Structure 1
Amino acid sequence: MSDLGSEELEEEGENDIGGIYKFKSGARYIGEYVKNKKHGHGTFIYPDGSRYEGEWADDLRHGYGVYYYVNNDTYTGEWFAHQRHGQGTYFYAETGSKYVGTWVNGQQEGAAELIHLNHRYQGKFLNKNPVGPGKYVFDIGCEQHGEYRLTDVERGEEEEEEETTMMTLVPKWKATKITELALWTPTLPEEHPPAEAPGPEEVLGAEGDGELMEEGQALADISEGETDSLRPGEDDGDSTREDSREYGIVSFEEEESKQSELPE
């Protein structure tokens, strides 16, 4: 990526209007200028063929913009002081993969998602490398959970006939479990049909029911009074048992005494 900042114009002097400006290096700028600096919205075409379209501040890429690289890669997102900084998406043209997430001072750093053609990785990054816990989501319908751990890797180098060994930290994936991909389905509230207004016949029926309820209440009061007057006393119990014998009804006590009299 070309990081050309302030370029010398072919014509000296301050420019506070928009237009097309050519530089001695072969670069071109189409956009807004303030006090001889790229400021506002504009497109800068670099000598190598790459270009930036977006916001500028004091001759620096600053704000939101898109950078088109020579190898057909693209970065779309936030810029700060000429560097990728904030939320942005980097598309790799050769593989079709893309990094969607946080950038710090031009580097992939923070929470992000690295999307490939048939799977994706979700986790955190540091200096372009994944670190810590994360998960791989596969299109076949499963997720692999785990974490990236920094592992020492020996690298031998020869220097002035003396072989030296250098240790390099490389992130290595350690899988812990595989689960099915959980699909989210919304739960809609049950819809109740609107209550219909009662018709004339239902209104008349309701009035009739009211009259029947009043008559029933009166009968209930009378029945309660008669029940109190007819509540059996001790003598009534004997007469009840005699009536039971007359109709062949045997009480539980009598049945139990008969069972005790049966021969063993």
Structure 2
Amino acid sequence: MSDLDSEELEEEADNDLGEYEGERNEAGERHGHGKARLPNRDTYEGQYENGKRHGLGVYRFKNGARYIGEYIHNKKYGHGTFMYPDGSKYEGEWMDDQKQGHGIYLYNNGDTYNGEWLNNQRHGQGIYTYAATGSKYMGTWINGKQDGPGELVHLNHKYQGTFVSNSPLGPGKYVFDIGCEQHGAYVKTEQEREEEEEEQLSVSVPKWKAEKITGLTQMSQIQQPPADGTNEPQSIDLEEKTEVLETKESTSVLPDAVPVLPDAVPILPDAVPVLPDAVPDTGELHSELLDAVSQPQILSLETPAVVEEDSLPDTETVEKND
């Protein structure tokens, strides 16, 4: 089940139908605390006001889904938790029956999204964590897609740059834990795709174009074991200690093994609960990468093209109740 562009399971709108046990006002409307069994076999227990669900309540759908949270005039509004039949769950803010504000979505494959929502879509700042690899995308979302400044964090390195429709595009850099960076840009390249009828279609695929290797270009703090026997760690200012590697003429600050760049950014599943089609792989840097740390010239490297990006979990229209 998906979280994007989907209508939530439709709740029974007519509150005068079905069996009801609970409080009423002078006009005979459901008012106060009550329990209702609706004609479509859904049930609701909670607060009513003038015949409408209003306040805290629990709505159970006949297919096993349920919503626990706040209502205003029959609509999910405020804080609430929605549990889906496939095991996925959203907990966060609602407005007019839609996810809006801050919320956490746990997918049934273990992936999570923690961030901002608008009109049932990931929108604003948020973090998507891939359960299979532990990789994370941290950055901007627009209408459910990675779009804008972002950071793709892996075990031993991360990519910082701009994303467009779930793919990196334009200038960026790979930052490695050993204390170096590779600068470059993702550029669009044309790649042919073979369809079922053997018709060749041209698609645009981002490809990484490396430009140079440097030391860390931003101030960072590395926590070192205390030298004075205290429990307080000491910090080293990397801005003062790090030099641009391409100006080194004899010695190298890199270890023998340089971390390889990834062939591709993590591929999101086509639809929840499907697991991602591929785990972020790593390619091999050209042999020139090792030579770069001891030569003054700026390198121009090319890494394998980024594989075609699958879409984020697409919307599956949730089955409405009769």
Whether TM-score is above 0.5 comes out as: yes
1:70 aligns with 2:108: yes
Shifted more, 149-158 versus 36-45: the winner is 149-158
After TM superposition, the structure 1 = structure 2 runs for residues 1-264 of structure 1, keeping only pairs within 5 Å, are 1-2=2-3, 3-9=6-12, 10-11=42-43, 14-159=52-197, 163-182=198-217, 183-184=219-220, 185=237
Cα separation, partners in 2 of 1:8 and 1:139, compared to 1, 3 Å: same
Q: Which sections of structure 1, spanning at least 5 residues, go unmatched?
A: 188-264
Give percent identity, aligned residues only.
60
Kept in 2, the 8 Å contact 1:102–1:109? The answer is: yes
Kept in 2, the 8 Å contact 1:100–1:112? The answer is: yes
Q: In structure 2, how many angstroms separate the alpha carbons of the residues matched to 1:26 and 1:8?
A: 13
Cα RMSD for the two superposed structures? 1.8
Code of the aligned partner of 1:121:
Y
Q: Residue 256 of structure 1 aligns with which residue?
A: none
Code of the aligned partner of 2:202:
M
Q: In structure 1, how many angstroms separate the alpha carbons of the residues matched to 2:125 and 2:100?
A: 13
Q: Deviations over 1:213-241 (max 9, x none)?
A: xxxxxxxxxxxxxxxxxxxxxxxxxxxxx
Kept in 2, the 8 Å contact 1:8–1:24? The answer is: no
Kept in 2, the 8 Å contact 1:6–1:59? The answer is: no
Q: In structure 2, how many angstroms separate the alpha carbons of the residues matched to 1:165 and 1:31?
A: 51
Q: Deviations over 1:18-76 (max 9, x none)?
A: 02220123211111011111110000001111010000001000000100000111000
Shift of 1:14: 2.1
Q: Deviations over 1:52-110 (max 9, x none)?
A: 00000010000001000001110000000110000000000101000000000000000
Code of the aligned partner of 1:7:
E
Q: In structure 1, how many angstroms separate the alpha carbons of the residues matched to 2:109 and 2:53?
A: 33
Shift of 1:180: 1.2
Q: Residue 252 of structure 2 aligns with which residue?
A: none
Q: Residue 213 of structure 1 aligns with which residue?
A: none
Kept in 2, the 8 Å contact 1:148–1:171? The answer is: yes
Shifted more, 149-158 versus 98-107: the winner is 149-158
Matched residues, number: 184
More helix by share: 1
Q: In structure 2, how many angstroms separate the alpha carbons of the residues matched to 1:6 and 1:93?
A: 27
Q: Deviations over 1:166-218 (max 9, x none)?
A: 1011000000000012444399xxxxxxxxxxxxxxxxxxxxxxxxxxxxxxx
Q: In structure 2, how many angstroms separate the alpha carbons of the residues matched to 1:186 and 1:175?
A: 23
Q: Residue 259 of structure 1 aligns with which residue?
A: none
Structure 1 or 2, whichever has the larger Rg, is 1
Q: Residue 234 of structure 1 aligns with which residue?
A: none
Code of the aligned partner of 2:102:
Y
Cα separation, partners in 2 of 1:154 and 1:186, compared to 1, 3 Å: closer
Q: In structure 2, how many angstroms separate the alpha carbons of the residues matched to 1:76 and 1:158?
A: 38
Kept in 1, the 8 Å contact 2:43–2:59? The answer is: no
Q: In structure 2, how many angstroms separate the alpha carbons of the residues matched to 1:88 and 1:158?
A: 37
Shift of 1:5: 1.9
Code of the aligned partner of 2:189:
T
Code of the aligned partner of 1:8:
E
Q: In structure 1, how many angstroms separate the alpha carbons of the residues matched to 2:100 and 2:76?
A: 10
Give SS of 1:70's match. Answer: coil
